[in-house]
Amino acid sequence: MKSGAAFTFQVIISYLLLAITTSVAGENEAVLDFYGKPVKANVPYYAGFVSTPAFLTRYGLDEPGSCPEGVVFSFDSNLVPPRIPIIFVSSSSSDVIRVSTEVSIKFALPSECDESGVWRVTDYAEDNDEVLLTGSESTDDSMFTIEKFHKSYKFAFKSVEMGMFKESSHVWRLKLRWLGLKRELDVDDKVMELDVSFFPVMNKTYSAFTS
């Protein structure tokens, strides 16, 4: 029969193990790439769709090649610049990007518009919610989260979901969606929900992406 001291020690150890397990389990799950591996900070990824050949790139707000530029999904790489890798920047001590955890997002390639490439919401308001590329890492207007959506992910800014708004048949612009409000764009099928996957970039020189 166990002594009182030994039993008490076992109970303490059990509580410690439970606390450690709970702490690990309570940590936000890692964002996974297309191959099921954790998405890492400061590593380039393509952001696109599995079922449709569309990827993130930059695009002029007024016309192709104009400045400033914004963030769009391109369904035809012949009409806009080719897909451009993005990089997640996190202040966390871990290099793993996690769901619902704030990160800065930037394009891996420099722009001819002399912009930082860091995503920034121009104004947190329903009528002015473009995502520009003039942000600074870790500033309030450049902090986004990645949220789980079906088997893939979506972007959010200050808990507001982001969607794709139709600009042409081949270009859909990334903007805040404001789910609590009924926007005309939703009714006219000019907005699509994000269902994004992340594809690791193998060629670190990016030479293949600028051709």
Among 39-48, 123-132, 160-169, whose mean pLDDT is lowest? 123-132
Whole-angstrom distance, CA of residue 155 vs CA of residue 28 = 16
Q: Report how many helices (DSSP H) and strands (DSSP E) the chain contains, helices first.
A: 2, 13
Q: What is the pLDDT of residue 103?
A: 96
Q: Does an H or E element contain 23, and which?
A: helix 4-26
**What is the pTM (predicted TM-score) of this model?**
0.77
- What the chain holds in terms of domains, given with CATH numbers, is 29-209 (2.80.10.50)
CA of 48: how far to CAs of 131, 146, 152, 162, in Å? 17, 14, 10, 14
Q: Give mean pLDDT, residues 79-89.
A: 86
